Structure 1
Amino acid sequence: MSTHSRTAKTGRILFPGPGIVVTSTHVETFEGCYRIRDLVIENPCYYYAFPTKVMAIYCGAVEMLASILPAALSGSPVLFGAAGLLAGAGLTGAILIDHHRKPRWMTLTARCRGRRIVLFSSRDRRVFEQVRRAVVRAQEASRRPKP
């Protein structure tokens, strides 16, 4: 994959990144070289590895259900409110931790002559979106203008 110039004999380089080179006429990966006009891009897939939000909601619901019985038996609305506040704080903390720590895996797939191929995958959302936009721009540039 030659990335030392902005234009090549085969077309303008739109993304000269590591692992993939997107030009106006083809996409070159470690697995092969695919012409843009042969590719049908599928929707990008975003994989969430740790569903902490869902787990936090379940745990918060169980905690609330477990606190209803002691609060009802003691007849204290303060105890019930404190249990609700504790559950809410735990839920908020879990969601904030999940938002900042959860690794994402993004995959850009396409069909090339009936065969499904993975063009690019990354954990870095910024680089992934740059590659996706470069492939979309290359496809838009390769379309024939309508009369």
Structure 2
Amino acid sequence: MSAQYVEPAPGSAMPPRRTVTWYYRGADVAVTNQFLHTARDRYALSELADLGISRGPVHPAVLISSVIAIAQTPIVIPVVAIVRSPMAFLLAAVLLVVPCVVAIVSARRWPPRLDLQARYRGRDLVLFSSHDEREFGQVSRALRRAVEALPLR
């Protein structure tokens, strides 16, 4: 027996096809009008509740360099005020600027992880996670639009 198309009987109606609206389609995640598809799972939007966002911890380099800059300030400024030499000003500038630059560069190089969380079938889950703020914003906005477009339950 071969697979072939069979004409429906006259008078029988075909079931209506659901149209799929794509709110976001990326390499690892997609949001439609019915589901959130990730690389590993698929979540029905009608079963999602309590959508929320959380930000992970900062990179240790950002934290350490910020603490160093803050700790050095009350020591360096009085020393420079007492000594008042060009070399003291140069040394103070280096001691205060270098940790600040390291903190800024580290924060841009290793941004914190952003998590999209929700309650799904009675469990709190992380639905999507990313270090890319732009992609995360697009996915979270798409999911909010898709959930808002659902018919009232």
Q: TM-score, normalised by structure 1?
A: 0.70
Question: What's the secondary structure of 1:119's corresponding residue?
Answer: strand
Q: Which position in structure 2 is the counterpart of 1:34?
A: 43
Question: Hey, which of these two has a bigger chunk of strand by percent?
Answer: 1
- Matched with 2:134 is 126
Number of residue pairs the alignment of both structures matches: 136
Instruction: Name the aligned partner's letter for residue 115 of structure 1.
Output: R
1:120 CA displacement = 1.3
Aligned to 1:21: 30
Amino acid at match of 1:9: R
The residue matched to 1:104 in structure 2 has which SS?
coil
Which of 9, 12, 19 is the equivalent residue of 2:21?
A: 12
Matches of residues 1-147 of structure 1 in structure 2 within 5 Å? 9=18, 11-64=20-73, 67=76, 76-78=83-85, 81-144=89-152
Structure 1, unaligned stretches of length 5 or more? Answer: 1-7
Deviations 1:7-51 (A, max 9, x none): x83631211222222111222234433221210143212224414
Shift of 1:129: 1.2
Over 3 Å counting, the alpha-carbon distance change for 1:49 and 1:71 in structure 2 is closer
For 2:65, the aligned partner's letter is A
Root mean square deviation of aligned Cα: 3.0
Structure showing greater Rg? 2
Deviates more, 1:46-55 or 1:116-125: 46-55
Q: CA deviation at 1:96?
A: 2.8
Give percent identity, aligned residues only.
25
- Whole-Å Cα distance in 2 between the matches of residues 86 and 77 of structure 1? 16
Point out 4+ residue stretches in structure 1 off by more than 6 angstroms.
68-72
Distance 1:41 1:91 in 2: 40
Give the deviation of 1:82 after TM superposition. 4.4
Q: What is the CA distance between 1:69 and its match in structure 2? A: 8.4
User: 5+ unaligned residues in a row in structure 2: which ranges?
Assistant: 1-16
Q: Distance between the aligned counterparts of 1:61 and 1:131, measured in 2? A: 36
